[in-house]
Amino acid sequence: MIVSGVAQATALLALALHARGTDAVGVEDPGSPQHGALYAAAGVTAVPLPLDDEGTDLAALRSSGVRAVTTTPAHQFPTGIAYSARRRAELLDWARSVDGFVIEDDYDGDFRYDRAPVGALQGLDPERVAYAGSVSKSLAPGLRLGWLLVPEALAEEVVERKRTSDLGHAVLDQALFARFVERGDYDRQLRRCQRAYRERRDALVAALREHFPGARVSGIAAGLHVIAELPLRYGPQRRFLERVAAAGVDVRALAAYAHARAGREEGEEGTPRLVLGYAQLSPARIRDGVRLMREAAGV
Ligand SMILES: Cc1ncc(COP(=O)(O)O)c(C=O)c1O
């Protein structure tokens, strides 16, 4: 089904699950603030689940009691980890064992720089996984164009929710996009973006190396952002962020994506751990931004 982005896909799934009696869905913590907000709007409680270095923590998932979970397995938002093959299989086993669903938010899965994009989880079990993606990272977020694949068991409910929310997606948008895909233009656009984003990522990683020696940069193999953990001398994080903001560089801490307030406050006094997006900036602007951050840090 064509939808207006991953956001609407999530909202429709939330409404459909709610209609089936699901009142809680697991979400990654740290994770996208969108997830919690969209579930809340549908009357579904988002249950934050911690991550380990393979993906959503399975023990926490099992003990949470939820029967649906939202994940970003290709490139976890915001930590940047790619779910391991083992965790992907375990998630599907879990979904079968509770007669539940995994929601796969593939917001940036087209952009993988070290190897071919990882196959979607949905392909491994279409009856347990709902899959959502969009053109937001490959064309423009303002187009509000995306896609949603749903398990048969949810299909009728989701289609009905789409109908009652907007009577169906704009036909002209769908026709134009279909043409774009059929002519091979979308593939070419993806390849163009791949090259541009890789160049921007390389510029960011090189600038961090130059201006913040000793920084640990992770999550670089895919997506449109990296995580940079700066050495202790640039901290505490709160002061660093204040100085950088005053210099006009818009930067968020990883902790800002924690669901609970305690998590968001955590690390304020520690070393800066930053989420740095690079998609919309030229390499020159990226280099300027990192240099400005270093100057603002005053170290
Ligand atoms: C993790 C994640 N999921 C979903 C979205 C929303 O995507 P869309 O523009 O396709 O609605 C975003 C927004 O950037 C995001 O970061």
Kindly report the protein residue whose alpha carbon is nearest to atom 7 of ligand 1: 6
Q: Is the pLDDT of residue 195 over 90?
A: yes
Q: pLDDT > 90: what percent of the chain?
A: 90
pLDDT of residue 196: 97
Q: How many CB atoms sit inside 10 A of residue 281's CB?
A: 16
Q: Using most ligand atoms within 8 A of CB, pick from 38, 83, 103, 136 the residue to mutate for ligand 1.
A: 136
% of the chain at pLDDT higher than 70: 100
**Residue 299: what pLDDT?**
80
Quote the radius of gyration of the chain (alpha carbons, Å). 20
Whether the pTM exceeds 0.85: the reply is yes
Q: Collapsing DSSP states into helix, strand and coil, what is residue 212?
A: coil
Mean pLDDT of 155-179: 96
DSSP-derived 3-state class of residue 80: coil
Cα–Cα distance measured from residue 5 to residue 141, given in angstroms and rounded to the nearest whole number: 8
For residues 212 and 228, give the distance between their C-alpha atoms in angstroms, rounded to a whole number: 10
Ligand 1 atom 3 nearest Cα: 107
The per-residue pLDDT for 67 is 97
In sequence order, what are the residues at sequence separation of 6 or more whose Cβ sits closer than 8 angstroms to the Cβ of residue 159? 1
Does the C-beta of 34 come closer than 6 Å to ligand 1? yes
- Please report the atom of ligand 1 found closest to the CA of residue 8: 11
pLDDT, mean of residues 122-142 = 97
Rounded mean pLDDT of the chain? Answer: 95
Whether the CB of 107 sits within 6 Å of ligand 1: yes
Q: How large is the average pLDDT for residues 209-216?
A: 97
* Structure confidence at residue 268 (pLDDT): 84
3-class DSSP state for residue 114?
Answer: coil
What is the arithmetic mean of pLDDT over 180-205?
Answer: 97
**What distances in angstroms separate CA 295 from CA 36, 243, 291, 299, one per listed residue?**
36, 9, 6, 7
CA distances (Å), 157 to each of 72, 134, 164, in order? 23, 21, 11
In order of start, what are the domains of the chain with their CATH numbers? 2-182 (3.40.640.10), 193-297 (3.90.1150.10)
pLDDT at residue 267 tops 80: no
Averaged over 136-149, what is the pLDDT? Answer: 96
Say how many Å lie between the CA of residue 168 and the centre of ligand 1: 20
112-133 average pLDDT score: 92
CB-CB contact of 121 with 157 (8 Å):
no
- Mean per-residue pLDDT for 63-76? 97
Mean pLDDT of 247-266: 88
pLDDT tens across 170-179, in order?
A: 999 999 999 9
Band (pLDDT 50/70/90 cuts) for residue 216 is very high
